[in-house]
């Protein structure tokens, strides 16, 4: 949160050369997940700062060391709110001069302009320079889908949409832009990526994930980390990443945020650990901890996870930061400790290096007292501070802690906006296209209706300008909603807009309201009347914005007002195309079978309206694929890699697996044929690699991209095996009638599973490779 040996002018020039090739490059015709993963995942070799760190540690007092472990919210050093926030000199002096606070985070409710960030960060770092040792502050922010707390920044589809692209090169490009624009604001540390798995769609942070599959999350997570941190975190376009939320946070039994998860360790290691493992190996500098609990143990005191697995097994050498106020919550929520002082001891000894306190000095006061009384050893303090200082050195903060005006040239560039549009287009997933209703004719008279049709808020969701993404006044005025984009494409005279229903958030509400209760009918009869005069109806349904606990729901069914609108529009007999703008799969079984065209847009961000219109009217051929299983019923929650007996019609009486849409579903305006699935061996042993090839042909009339998904099934295992697991994928771009033979390597690790002893195990037996409806078997000796 860099060594600058060049003059400002030279620095500015170098930035252009750093960013320009990244933004201008043309994507390759084939993007192979394994090739990308192996090329980008090795962590870069950074300079060794050990001597400087040890010398500095020797000079530090206990209080100064504990200060480095303390993270405060910006409100602790500022006064005012929203756009009127300003540094309070007395508060700043207390935090930096008296307590030696090592980190500040967050905003005062709202995103700020890049100039305001420069002013604020500059004052903080100036205060740090004046302290006895001059240790810089590391400022952290949630740059979740772009530099979303900097007004005017380039924003990208939320992670769930980026996963739907199955394009890690595009994810890396988006992360590079996010890093450059975050650093341009003077902020060197981002609390991203989210590596939790979206395996329970009730969970209100589902849209922050890369979906339900650990391999997709691993590949896309590495792309995010390498994009943020680059080859050198001290460069002027990089920031430190923070992997979150380590781990199992996304799988609470109830689906409600921050409620208990019950996950056996072998299952935890099989599914939830791999994305973190991959990004640690890729060099991620920091990790944020699960705000919930697993098997009754809160993440912040789980030494087995924080030390035994993270440090001893994975070899993580960065620092670990708590989530918001979670040490205090060990007393108030989890009731693990009787006092905050004891909670502090438990958390620090379990492996927390920095506490996001964030609104008082209790952590620092308690920890100093604990060390003086011998309850926390000095060596543990030195260990944590050593890790924090290493990241500060690696970011170049000791040489250049403050913001640079030269870096503003990297902010909100036109090329960056084009990458955002490209990402939105590639994420959009065509789920149903009966009788080729899509693409629509540009000569059509179109009714646009539904609560997400004219909403940038729905296109973005949470972590957009404010935590909940709900402050309409902060959204850019020059970005098109779905309605405006269609009007721009067809001409306003050919488009009628009637909202039909409305999604709203109660002013100031932070309670656990069900978003479906915050909907209302507006003018459904008017929408019906307008439909009768239209050739086709674009029905935009979905969700408003939400994040974390305020997004908790108890029923995935889409809101009743929206269903009433859909029923009424369908009853007119006019062709309907449903556009789903939502962060999680809301149940639509009541209407889905009666609608010929269904498009999943996820939360495609500020360029999403344009991207949706481009797809609807055929200027872009959709290529997204679902990175999760879309349930048909509220209780039909099952993942693609379920056990075979869960869905087969067996003696157990289970029903056939019928999701609304399956993991990997996604249609195109062209057609693709798969043939000649070949294995280079029928039997492998030892460390043999298995070569797998398949030929994909574009059999349609227009160019298109296809995500080719490679599954492997272990047919018999000592732990009942899943029906299939995704092991590779590739995104291929084909012209009409063009064929390409793709080759994949399946390695020994791809055939392993975590056994009952919590260790990776490979058992001999028969396996099956499945690609595009084709399958071939092989034997492992």
Q: How far is CA 215 from the centre of its chain?
A: 14
Which residue reads 């055939």 in tokens? 751
Q: Are strands 286-289 and 319-321 parallel, antiparallel or unpaired?
A: parallel
The CA-to-CA distance between both ends of the chain, in Å, stands at 49
Kindly state the tokens that stand for 203.
């969970």
Peptide bond into 615 cis (omega under 30): no
Question: 275: closest CA among 581, 41, 574, 550?
Answer: 41
- Burial (Cβ within 10 Å: 0-12, 13-18, ≥19) of residue 70: buried
Q: What is the DSSP letter of 619?
A: S
Question: 597: closest CA among 742, 707, 441?
Answer: 441
Which residue reads 């926390």 in tokens? 376
Element (H, E) at 189: strand 189-190
714 is a catalytic site residue: no
CA atoms of 433 and 735, how far apart (whole Å): 21
Question: 176: closest CA among 395, 396, 19, 26?
Answer: 19
Please give the full DSSP string across 188-238, using - where no structure is assigned.
Answer: -EE---B------TTSTTGGGS--S-HHHHHHHHHHHHHHHH-S-TTSTT-
Whether 450 and 539 have beta carbons less than 8 Å apart is answered as: yes
Kindly state the tokens that stand for 679.
């294995």
State the helix-helix crossing angle for 524-532 and 560-570, rounded to 10 degrees: 20
CA atoms of 268 and 182, how far apart (whole Å): 33
Question: 603: closest CA among 520, 544, 663?
Answer: 544
Q: Which of 32, 142, 196, 323 does the annotation list as catalytic? A: 323
Question: 4: closest CA among 284, 387, 407?
Answer: 407
CA atoms of 291 and 203, how far apart (whole Å): 13
CA atoms of 420 and 418, how far apart (whole Å): 5
Bridge partner residues of 711 (DSSP): 726, 770
CA atoms of 229 and 38, how far apart (whole Å): 17
Supply the residues annotated as catalytic: 323
């Amino acid at each position: 949160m860099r060594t600058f040996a060049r003059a400002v002018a030279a620095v500015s020039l170098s930035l252009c050369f750093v960013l320009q090739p990244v933004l201008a490059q043309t994507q390759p015709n084939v993007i192979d997940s394994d090739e990308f993963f192996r090329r980008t995942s090795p962590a870069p070799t950074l300079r060794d700062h050990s001597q400087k760190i040890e010398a500095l540690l020797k000079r530090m007092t206990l209080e100064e060391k504990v200060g480095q472990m303390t993270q405060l919210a910006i409100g602790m050093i500022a006064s005012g709110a929203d756009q009127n926030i300003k540094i309070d000199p007395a508060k700043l002096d207390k935090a930096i001069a008296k307590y030696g606070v090592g980190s500040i985070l967050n905003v005062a409710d709202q995103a700020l302009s890049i100039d305001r960030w420069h002013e604020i960060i500059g004052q903080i770092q100036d205060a740090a320079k004046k302290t006895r040792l001059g240790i810089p502050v590391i400022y952290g922010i949630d740059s979740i889908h772009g530099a979303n707390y900097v007004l005017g920044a380039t924003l990208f589809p939320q992670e769930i949409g980026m996963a739907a692209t199955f394009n890690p090169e595009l994810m890396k490009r988006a992360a590079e832009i996010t890093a450059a624009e975050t650093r341009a604001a003077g902020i060197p540390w981002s609390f991203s990526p989210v590596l939790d798995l979206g395996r329970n769609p009730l969970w209100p942070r589902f849209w922050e994930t890369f979906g339900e599959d650990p391999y997709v999350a691993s590949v896309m997570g590495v792309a995010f980390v390498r994009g943020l941190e680059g080859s050198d975190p001290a460069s002027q376009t990089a920031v430190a990443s923070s992997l979150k939320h380590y781990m199992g946070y996304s799988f609470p039994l109830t689906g409600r945020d921050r409620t208990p998860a019950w996950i056996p360790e072998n299952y935890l290691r099989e599914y939830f650990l791999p994305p973190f493992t991959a990004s640690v190996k890729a060099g991620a500098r920091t990790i944020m901890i699960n705000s919930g609990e697993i098997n009754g143990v809160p993440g912040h005191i789980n030494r087995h996870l924080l030390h035994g697995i993270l440090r001893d097994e994975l070899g993580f050498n960065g620092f670990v930061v708590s989530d918001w106020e979670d040490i205090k919550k060990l007393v108030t929520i989890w009731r693990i400790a009787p006092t905050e002082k004891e909670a502090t001891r438990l958390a620090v000894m379990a492996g927390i290096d920095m506490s996001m306190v964030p609104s008082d000095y209790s952590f620092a006061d308690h920890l100093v007292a604990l060390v003086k009384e011998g309850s926390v050893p000095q060596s543990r303090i030195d260990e944590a501070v050593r890790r924090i200082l290493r990241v500060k050195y690696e970011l170049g903060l000791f040489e250049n802690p403050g913001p640079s005006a030269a870096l503003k040239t990297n902010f909100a560039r036109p090329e960056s906006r084009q990458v955002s549009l490209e990402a939105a287009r590639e994420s959009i997933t065509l789920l149903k296209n009966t009788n080729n209703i899509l693409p629509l004719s540009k000569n059509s008279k179109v009714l646009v209706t539904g609560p997400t049709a004219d909403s940038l808020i729905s296109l973005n969701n949470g972590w957009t300008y404010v935590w909940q993404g709900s402050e309409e006044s902060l959204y850019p005025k020059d970005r098109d909603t779905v309605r405006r984009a269609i009007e721009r494409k067809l001409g306003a005279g050919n488009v009628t807009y009637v909202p039909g229903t409305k999604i709203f958030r109660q002013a100031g509400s932070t309670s656990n309201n069900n978003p479906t209760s915050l909907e209302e009918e507006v003018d459904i009869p008017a929408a019906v009347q307008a439909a009768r005069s239209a050739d086709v109806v674009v029905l935009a349904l979905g969700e408003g914005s939400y994040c974390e606990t305020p997004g908790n729901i108890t029923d995935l069914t889409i809101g009743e007002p929206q269903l009433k609108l859909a029923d009424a529009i369908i009853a007119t007999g006019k062709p309907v195309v449903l556009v789903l703008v939502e962060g999680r799969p809301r149940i639509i079984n009541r209407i889905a079978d009666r609608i010929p065209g269904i498009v999943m847009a996820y939360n495609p961000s500020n360029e999403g309206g344009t991207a949706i219109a481009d797809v609807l009217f055929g200027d872009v051929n959709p290529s997204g694929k679902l990175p999760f299983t879309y349930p048909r019923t509220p209780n039909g929650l099952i993942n693609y890699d379920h056990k075979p007996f869960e869905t087969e019609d067996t003696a157990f009486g289970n029903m056939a697996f019928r999701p609304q849409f399956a993991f990997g579903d996604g249609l195109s305006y062209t057609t693709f044929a798969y043939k000649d699935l070949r294995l280079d061996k029928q039997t492998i042993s030892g460390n043999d690699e298995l070569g797998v090839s398949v030929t994909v042909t574009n059999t349609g009339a227009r160019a298109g991209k296809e995500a080719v998904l490679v599954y492997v099934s272990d047919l018999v295992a000592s732990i009942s095996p899943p029906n299939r697991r995704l092991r590779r994928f590739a995104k291929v771009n084909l012209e009409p009638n063009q064929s390409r033979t793709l080759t994949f390597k399946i390695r020994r690790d791809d055939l392993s599973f975590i056994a009952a002893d919590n260790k990776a195990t490979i058992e001999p037996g028969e396996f099956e490779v499945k690609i595009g409806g084709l399958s071939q078997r092989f034997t492992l000796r």
